[in-house]
């Protein structure tokens, strides 16, 4: 029962988590807009999300509790996701080896922030739905 509850929220939780990580990567790109030889990074969001949804965030290699009796409850902690960050291909390379394109970064940043809020709205309405289903008549 509780498992179903967390399952219902799992997708949105993972999506929010990935959005937050992408937010951090894009913020780092903007912060390093004037750093010589900095290469702009980004992630393929849909691929990372489907990877997390398929194999779980742990990648199957999380820490697990040692069980010494058959009646112990096995538990597995999730290790951080192993994301693959890609490098952006610059369309206007600069002399100092920096590949941050401020316009592109800021567009992506705004886009990511809006999608993060969309995911928040989604998870909120999901919670509302579950809550109203739990109300007694």
Partner 1 sequence: MSMFSVFDISGSAMSAQSQRMNATASNLANADSVAGPNGEAYRAKQVMFETQAQGRHGVGGVRVSEVVEDQSPLRMEYRPEHPLADEQGYVQMPNVEPVHEMVNMISASRSYQANVEVMNTSKQMMLKTLTIGEG
Q: Is the dihedral of CA 128, 52, 24, 41 positive or negative?
A: negative
118 binds partner 1 per the rule CB under 8 A = no
Residues 91, 89: Cα–Cα separation, whole Å:
6
Q: Nearest approach, Cβ of 43 to partner 1 (angstroms)?
A: 9
Closest CA to 117 of 9, 27, 20, 42: 20
Q: Nearest approach, Cβ of 50 to partner 1 (angstroms)?
A: 19
Q: Which is nearer to partner 1, 27 or 67 (CB)?
A: 27
Does residue 102 contact residue 33 with C-beta atoms inside 8 Å?
A: yes
Residues that bind partner 1 (CB under 8 A): 16-17, 20-21, 23-25, 27-28, 30-36, 38, 41, 80, 83, 85, 102, 106, 109-110, 113, 116-117, 120, 123-124, 127-128
């Amino acid at each position: 029962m509780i498992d179903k509850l967390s399952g219902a929220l799992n997708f949105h939780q993972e999506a929010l988590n990935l959005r937050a990580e992408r937010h951090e990567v894009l913020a780092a790109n903007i912060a390093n807009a004037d750093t010589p030889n900095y290469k702009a990074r980004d992630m393929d969001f849909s691929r990372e999300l489907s990877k997390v949804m398929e194999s779980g965030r742990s990648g199957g290699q999380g820490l697990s509790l040692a069980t010494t009796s058959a009646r112990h409850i096995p538990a597995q902690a999730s290790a951080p996701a192993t994301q693959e960050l890609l490098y952006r291909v610059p369309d206007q390379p600069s002399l100092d080896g920096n590949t941050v394109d401020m316009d592109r970064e800021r567009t992506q940043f705004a886009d990511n922030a809006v999608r993060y809020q969309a995911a928040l709205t989604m998870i909120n309405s999901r919670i509302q739905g579950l809550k109203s289903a739990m109300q007694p008549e």
